Amino acid sequence: MAKYLLLKHYRGSPEAVNNVPMDRWTPAEVDAHVQFMNDFASRLEQSGELVDAQALSPDGMWVRSDVDGRPPVTDGPFAETKDLVAGWMVIDVDTPERAIELAAELSAVPGAGGEPIHEWLEVRPFLTAPPTVTE
Amino acid sequence: MNVEDVDLRALVPQVLSVLIRRGADFATAEDAVQEALARAVPAWEREPPSDPKGWLITVAWRAFLDVARSEAARRDREARFDTEPPTGSVPGADDTLHLYFLCAHPDLTPSSAVALTLRAVGGLTTRQIAQAYLVPESTMAQRISRAKRTVAASGIDRLGDVRTVMRVLYLIFNEGYLGDIDLAAEAIRLTRQLASALDDPEVHGLLALLLLHHARRASRTGSDGRIVPLADQDRTLWDADLIAEGIAVLQAALARDRLGEYQAQAAIAALHADAQRVEDTDWVQIVEWYDELLRFADTPIVRLNRAVAIGEADGARAGLAALAEVDEHVPRRSAVAAHLHEKDGDLERAARLYADAARDAPNLAERDHQLRQAARLNQLLRLEP
C-alpha cells in the first residue's frame, strides 16, 4: 500500500473543462455535486482506502520568523494570482494506477448542467518510511 | 465502556471525590478512577456488584495505592498510605461541585479545561474525548496530563469561577456530536448535575438554553447532512418534552429576578420553541430580549442576531439599519446581509452576498447552504428578464 495526496486547488491549476462558478449552478446541480462528494468519500471508506479528507478556507497568509526576536513577518491575504489549495484527500492504495483512477473519478464530479467538471487534481505520492529489509 | 452507560459515569466525580478526600492527589486519583472504570466493564459483565459505587471506590483506591506505593518505593520512602482506607464520610454534592471548579481552573486554556472536565467529571476515556475532538489519542492524553500537572502545580484550592465552568459546558455542548460521542447530550447531563448542586439562576438559565437547543436538533439537519434553517424546520420533529422542561427550568430561574446572559439567551430560544409555525414567532419580544442580552454581553455576534430579529419585527430596512452598526468582520455577517437584502427585494445584491457568505463559511455544511442560496437567487434572476 502507498499513500497519495489528492490536492484540489481554488486557483493555480490548469483550467477545468466545465468551469462555471458554483453560485451560477442551479440548486439541484449543487445538490448533485455535494451528493457525489459524500458518496465518493464513503465508498473509499468502505473499500479501506480513505485516510483523510479536509477542506481549507480560502483565507490564509504567508508567515515566516523574523530576525532579532522581532515578531513574525506575515504576508496576506493571498494575492489573487497565487496558487491556492482548496482541500485534500489522502488515500492509501495498492498501485499508482489506482491512485490515478480515483483522482480521475473525483475530477468527474458533476457541475454546471449536471456535466462533469473535469477539473485538474494534483496527485502526489507520499515519501515512505525506509523498508525494514534493505538488501 | 459503553458510552451510553451514564449511570456508571455519573459515579465518576463521586468516586474521585472520595479518593481526594482520603488524601490522594488529584492527578493520580483521576488515573486510578479511570482504571477502575476500565476494570468495571468486564468484571460487571461476569457479576454485577450489589453496590457499584462501593466497588468502584475499592478498586480505584487499590489502583491508587499501587501507584502511590511504587512511587514511594522508587523514592525509597515508607508508603504514606495504609492498606485499609480511612473511613471518610460519604461525599455530597459539594464534592462533585468542587471538581467542576477544579477543572475550570483559571490557569487552564479552554481546550484543556474542556478535556479535563470530560474526563474527571464526565468519566469519558481519553480515547473517546480524542475521537470527539478529532485529534490523535496520544495528543489528547498529553493535553489531559498537562492540564492535571497545571492544576497540581498551582494548587487544587485555587478554583475557577462559575462563569468559567458554564463557559466550559457551553463549549462542550457546541461541539455537537461526531461518531459515537454525543457531546451535546453529555454537556446537558453535566449541566443538569451542576444545576442540582448549585443554586444559581444563571446555571439554570444555561440548562434551559441547552435543553431548548437540543430539542430542535433532529430538525436542524436534513437526511443528507444539509443545514435546515430555523424558518424551514419541520417543527413536528421538535422534542416537546425537552421544550417543556427547558421552559419550566427557565421560568423558575427568571422568577428569581437575577437576570443574566444565559437566561436571556434561553428566553430567546424559548420564544422560538414556543411558535407552532414560523409565522407565529413573537419577533417583537425576541428583539426586547436581545436588548436585555446586550446589557450582559454586548458582542458583535449578539448585535448581528439582533439585526436579524429586527428585520423580522420591523421589516428588512430596519434590519439593515441595525446591521450597519455591526462590526464588518464578524463571522456570518454577509449571510445576514444577504438574507435582509433578499427580504428587501434586492436579489442581485443578495445573490452576491450569499456567494461571499459561502466563501467565508466556517464549515462545509454552511458553505454548501450559502451556495444553494446564491444558486437559488441566480436561477430566479435568470428566469426573470
CB B201 within 8 A of CB B258: yes
Q: Determine how many CB atoms are found less than 10 A away from the CB of residue B34.
A: 22
| Complex ipTM | 0.89
pLDDT tens sequence across A57-94? 988 888 999 998 899 999 877 777 778 899 999 999 99
Q: What is the pLDDT of residue B385?
A: 64
Residue ranges per domain, chain A? 2-58+85-125
CA distance B202 to B189: 16
Res. B87: pLDDT tops 70: no
In chain A, residues with a C-beta closer than 8 Å to the C-beta of B375 are: 22-27, 29-30
Q: What is the mean pLDDT of chain B?
A: 90
3-state secondary structure of A13: coil
Calculate mean pLDDT across residues B56-70.
Answer: 92
- Closest to B380 measured CA to CA, from B335, B346, B357: B346
**Who among A26, A29, A55 is closest to B364 (CB)?**
A55
CB B310 within 8 A of CB B318: yes
CB B311 within 8 A of CB B343: yes
Res. B85: pLDDT tops 60: no
Report pTM.
0.88
pLDDT tens sequence across B205-237? 999 999 999 999 999 999 888 999 999 999 999
Q: How far is CA B173 from CA B22, B116, B290, in A?
A: 33, 15, 22
Q: Find which of A8, A11, A20, A23 to mutate to test the B interface (most B CBs within 10 Å of its CB).
A: A23
CA distance A24 to chain B (A): 6
Band (B187; pLDDT cuts 50, 70, 90): very high
Q: Report the chain B residue with the minimal C-alpha distance to residue A38.
A: B224
Domain B299-385 belongs in CATH node 1.25.40: yes
Q: What is the pLDDT of residue B156?
A: 66
Burial environment of residue B257 by CB neighbours within 10 A (0 to 12, 13 to 18, 19 or more): exposed
Q: What cell numbers appear for B31 in the block?
A: 488515573
**Who among B225, B359, B379 is closest to A27 (CB)?**
B379
Q: Report the chain B residue with the minimal C-alpha distance to residue A54.
A: B364
B368 with A34: Cβ contact below 8 A:
yes
Q: What is the pLDDT of residue A23?
A: 93
pLDDT tens sequence across B170-183? 999 988 665 567 89
Q: What is the pLDDT of residue B97?
A: 86
Q: What is the pLDDT of residue B41?
A: 85
Calculate mean pLDDT across residues B371-379.
Answer: 96
Q: How would DSSP label each residue in B90-141?
A: PP-HHHHHHHHHHHT-TTS-HHHHHHHIIIIIT---HHHHHHHTTS-HHHHH
Q: What is the mean pLDDT of chain A?
A: 92
**Who among B224, B225, B355 is closest to A23 (CB)?**
B355
pLDDT tens sequence across B239-264? 999 999 999 999 999 999 999 999 99
pLDDT tens sequence across A1-41? 899 999 999 888 899 999 999 999 999 999 999 999 999 99
Size of interface A-B (CB pairs under 8 A): 39
CATH superfamily of A2-58+85-125: Dimeric alpha+beta barrel (3.30.70.1060)
CA distance B130 to chain A (A): 16
